[in-house]
A and B are shown apart, each in its own frame.
Chain A
């Protein structure tokens, strides 16, 4: 009976944490798109300000992620993953977790989310926040083949690149 109560409590807590984290990721993606979609350099530029996204969304993400590390897609420690994924796409949650698992960082690569902003090369800018945030779900218990001690975070938005002036 106590075990059942504990499982129910953990399910409620994890769902609550997941809602807080993914809502923060949603808000960050929306803000990131606004930053990325135009105006790198000048008001008429159509070069997206991709490298400015991380700094602009970090204050929104850091606290709600509850101990999960928020990584910059353009940081030096992710160079190998960038090389693997290519310059026009963002990684999936599992690719992020696999990468950090290879680096032996966190159980099963859990505990890292990446803020990614790329130009797809066809006039669109994509901002994604992907990875596995920390949770209390033990290995093998979570639904949908989730990783142990991790909650999947995958929020993506994509818009046409614009300019601030005509």
Chain B
């Protein structure tokens, strides 16, 4: 027959074993979820920066490649900025790079009359070792993002570069 003291001791041991079993699982679930949310956030922030960079290439007139590149770089660096909530663990490995006929002063219309887009790409590293969940999730993830922007009719006007355009300024 077990005494009261023996029963209490057994209960404590049982609780300790349960804790030892459940705690790691709980930590994995919490860290995994937080990590997943951080990744979603980072991807969204990065995508927004590349989207705006693509749109910014279309602010200067057709064929002004230097201005388009400068505007795109400005939009990217000031959207994906060091003061945002992702600072510290999200770093750009390949800065935004944009390509498209618009930058060369060309408007390539397809069969539906839609101009070829400007396509921008960039890459970044999401370093989980610098996040609060680094104890469990300590490796990096590479993010790669692409965005497209289509020149408006106003931006398809003939310019000094002499490109052909369906639209008149």
* A-to-B contact residues, CB < 8 Å: 1, 4-5, 8, 11-12, 15-16, 18-19, 22-23, 26-27, 29-30, 33-34, 37, 43, 92, 124, 126, 143, 152, 154-160, 162, 164-166
Residues of B within 8 A of A143 (CB): 132
CA–CA, A26 and B42, complex, Å: 11
Residues of A within 8 A of B19 (CB): 1
Q: List 30 A-B contacts (CB under 8 A).
A: A1-B15, A4-B23, A5-B26, A8-B29, A11-B30, A12-B33, A15-B33, A15-B38, A22-B41, A23-B41, A27-B48, A29-B48, A34-B55, A92-B83, A143-B132, A154-B84, A155-B45, A156-B79, A157-B75, A157-B79, A158-B78, A159-B59, A160-B74, A162-B56, A162-B59, A164-B152, A164-B154, A165-B169, A166-B61, A166-B169
Query: Which B residues between 112 and 169 are near A, CB-CB below 8 angstroms?
Result: 132, 152, 154-155, 157, 159, 169
Residues of A within 8 A of B22 (CB): 1
Tell whether, in the assembled complex, residue A155 and residue B78 are in contact, meaning their CB atoms are under 8 Å apart. no
Residues of A within 8 A of B152 (CB): 164
Query: Which B residues between 25 and 77 are near A, CB-CB below 8 angstroms?
Result: 26, 29-30, 33-34, 37-38, 40-41, 44-45, 48-49, 51-52, 55-56, 59-62, 71, 74-75
B69 to chain A, nearest CB (A): 12
Closest residue of chain B to A144 (Cβ to Cβ) is B132
Residues of A within 8 A of B55 (CB): 33-34, 159
Tell whether, in the assembled complex, residue A156 and residue B81 are in contact, meaning their CB atoms are under 8 Å apart. yes
CA–CA, A19 and B44, complex, Å: 10
* B-to-A contact residues, CB < 8 Å: 15, 18-19, 22-23, 26, 29-30, 33-34, 37-38, 40-41, 44-45, 48-49, 51-52, 55-56, 59-62, 71, 74-75, 78-79, 81, 83-85, 132, 152, 154-155, 157, 159, 169
Residues of B within 8 A of A159 (CB): 52, 55-56, 59, 71, 74-75, 78-79
Q: CB within 8 A of A126: which of B33, B78, B155?
A: B78
Give 13 A-B pairs besides A15-B38, A166-B155 with Cβ atoms closer than 8 angstroms. A1-B19, A8-B26, A26-B44, A34-B55, A155-B84, A156-B79, A156-B83, A157-B48, A159-B55, A160-B74, A166-B154, A166-B157, A166-B169
Sorted nearest first, the 3 A-B pairs with minimum C-beta distance are A162-B59, A158-B78, A157-B79
B102 to chain A, nearest CB (A): 13
CA–CA, A162 and B52, complex, Å: 13
* Residue of A1, A23, A160 ringed by the most chain B CB atoms within 10 A: A160
Q: A1-B19, A19-B40 are in contact. Are A124 and B45 (CB under 8 A)?
A: no
A146 to chain B, nearest CB (A): 11
B19 to chain A, nearest CB (A): 6
CA–CA, A164 and B156, complex, Å: 11
Residues of A within 8 A of B61 (CB): 166
Tell whether, in the assembled complex, residue A154 and residue B83 are in contact, meaning their CB atoms are under 8 Å apart. yes
A58 to chain B, nearest CB (A): 19
Residues of A within 8 A of B132 (CB): 143
A89 to chain B, nearest CB (A): 12
